[in-house]
Chains A and B, each alone.
Chain A
Amino acid sequence: MPHRALYLPVAMFILCTASLSQGAVAPAASMVRIEVTSQQPDYTSPWSPGSIGAGVGAGFVISGNRIMTNAHVVSNGTFISVLKEGDPNPWEARVLHVAHDCDLAILEVYDASFFEGTKPLEFGGVPALESEVSVYGYPIGGDRLSVTRGIVSRIDFQPYSHSAVDSHLAIQIDAAINPGNSGGPVMQDGKVVGVAFQGFRGDVAQNVGYMIPTPVAKRFLKDVEDGSYDRYMDLAATYFPLLNPAQRSALGLTDENGGVLVGSVFDGGASQGKLQPGDVILSVDGTKVFADGKIDMDGERVEMAEIFEGKFKGDKTELEILRDGKPEKVTLEMTRPWPFEMQAKGYDKRPRYVVVGGLVFQPLDRNFLETRKEVRPRMRYFFDNYVSDHIYRGHPEVIVLSDVLRDPVNTYARPFADNIVSKINGKEVRTLQDVAAAFAEEGQFHVVELLGEGRPIVLDRAALPEAEERIRQRYGVTNPQNL
Chain B
Amino acid sequence: MTAFLRLVLAIALCGLTPAHAMESMRGILDAVRATPTPAAAPPEATATNVAAAATPVATPTPEPTVEPPRPSKGQQPPVVRVNVAAQAPNFMQPWRKNPRTIRQGLGVVLMDGRILVTAELVADHIDVELEKPDTALKAAAQVEVVDYDANLALLAAPSADFLQSIPGARLDESVSVGDRVEVMQLEPNGRPVTTPATVTTIEVGPYPVDENAFLVFKLSVPLQTRENSFTIPALKDGRLVGLVMRYSPATQTADLVPAPVIAQFLRAAAKQPYAGFPRAGLTFSDTRDPQLRRFASLPEGTGGAYVTKVLPGSPADAAGVKAGDVLLSVDGRAIDQDGNYEDERFGKISLAHYVSTALQAGQKIPIVVWRDGAEVTLEGTLAPRDRSRMISQPYIFDRDPDYVVVGGVVFSELSRQFLREFGRGWQEDAPLKLLYLDRFQSELPPDRGRIVFISGVLSSPNNIGYEGLGFEVVEEINGKPIRSLADVAAAVDNPEGPYHRIRLAEDPGLLVLDVDGSKADEERIKQQYGLESLRHLESQD
Contact = CB atoms under 8 A, between A and B. Distances in A.
A265 to B, nearest CB: 10
Interface in B281-321: 283, 285, 288-289, 291-292, 294-295, 306-309
Interface stretch (A295-303, A319-327, A397-405, A453-461): A453-461
B55 interface: no
A343 interface: no
Interface string A442-455: 00010100001111
B2 interface: yes
Interface string A260-291: 01111000000000000110000000000000
Given A261-B510, A412-B292, A454-B285, A374 B308 contact: no
Interface stretch (B82-90, B369-377, B461-469): B461-469
B443 interface: yes
Interface string A360-376: 00000000010011111
Nearest to A248: B512
A244 B95 CA distance: 26
A385 B432 contact: yes
Contact of A263 (B4, B501, B507): B507
Contacts of A246: 462, 499, 512-514, 517
Interface of A, secondary structure class, is mixed
Given A261-B509, A385-B436, A412-B289, 8 more contacts: A238-B508, A245-B514, A263-B509, A377-B439, A384-B432, A385-B432, A447-B295, A455-B308
B49 interface: no
B283 A278 contact: no
B285 A250 contact: no
Contact of A377 (B435, B506, B513): B435
15 contacts: A238-B507, A242-B465, A244-B466, A247-B465, A250-B512, A263-B506, A264-B507, A377-B4, A377-B435, A381-B433, A389-B506, A412-B288, A456-B295, A458-B291, A458-B292
A388 B506 CA distance: 8
Contacts, number: 114
A62 interface: no
B291 A243 contact: no
Interface in B407-445: 427, 432-433, 435-436, 439-440, 443
A453 B284 CA distance: 10
Contacts of B510: 247, 261, 277-278
B283 A454 contact: yes
A250 B501 contact: yes
Contacts of B440: 378, 452
Nearest to A251: B512
Interface string B487-531: 000000000000101000011111111100100000000000000
A375 B436 CA distance: 13
A241 interface: yes
B465 A377 contact: no
Contacts of A384: 432
A388 B501 CA distance: 22
Contacts of A245: 464, 514
A338 interface: no
A242 B512 CA distance: 10
A452 B443 CA distance: 7
Contacts of A263: 506-509
A257 interface: no
Given A374-B1, A458-B291, A243 B464 contact: yes
Given A411-B289, A452-B440, A460-B291, A244 B306 contact: no
B4 A278 contact: no
Interface residues of A, number: 45
Contacts of B512: 244, 246-247, 250-251
Contacts of A251: 512
B465 to A, nearest CB: 3
Nearest to B307: A454
A70 B97 CA distance: 54
A475 interface: no
A402 to B, nearest CB: 15
Given A244-B466, A389-B433, A377 B291 contact: no
A380 interface: yes
Contacts of B291: 412, 445, 458-460, 463
Most chain A CB inside 10 Å of its own CB: which residue of B291, B432, B435: B291
A385 B443 CA distance: 17
Contacts of B513: 246
B454 to A, nearest CB: 14
A240 interface: yes
B499 A380 contact: no
Interface of B: 1-4, 283, 285, 288-289, 291-292, 294-295, 306-309, 323-324, 427, 432-433, 435-436, 439-440, 443, 462-466, 499, 501, 506-514, 517
Nearest to A277: B509
B511 A247 contact: yes
Q: Which of A247, A250, A372 has the most C-beta atoms of chain B within 10 angstroms of its own C-beta?
A: A247
Nearest to A260: B508
A388 B509 contact: no
A245 B292 CA distance: 62
A41 B309 CA distance: 39
Contacts of B506: 263-264, 388-389
B226 to A, nearest CB: 37
A458 B513 CA distance: 55
Contacts of A453: 308
Nearest to B294: A460
Given A240-B507, A412-B289, A460-B294, A380 B432 contact: yes
A263 B427 CA distance: 28
The 8 closest A-B pairs by CB, nearest first: A454-B308, A243-B465, A412-B289, A263-B507, A244-B465, A246-B514, A240-B508, A247-B512
Contacts of B465: 241-244, 247
B289 A458 contact: yes
Contacts of B295: 445, 447, 456, 458
A47 B466 CA distance: 50
A288 B512 CA distance: 23
A186 to B, nearest CB: 35
A463 B290 CA distance: 12
Interface string A389-424: 100000000000000000000011100000000000
A342 B415 CA distance: 31
Contacts of B507: 238, 240, 263-264, 388
Nearest to B505: A389
Nearest to B308: A454
Interface in A208-254: 238, 240-247, 250-251
A450 to B, nearest CB: 11
A377 B289 contact: no
Nearest to A447: B295
B289 A375 contact: no
A373 B513 CA distance: 44
Contacts of B436: 377-378, 381, 385
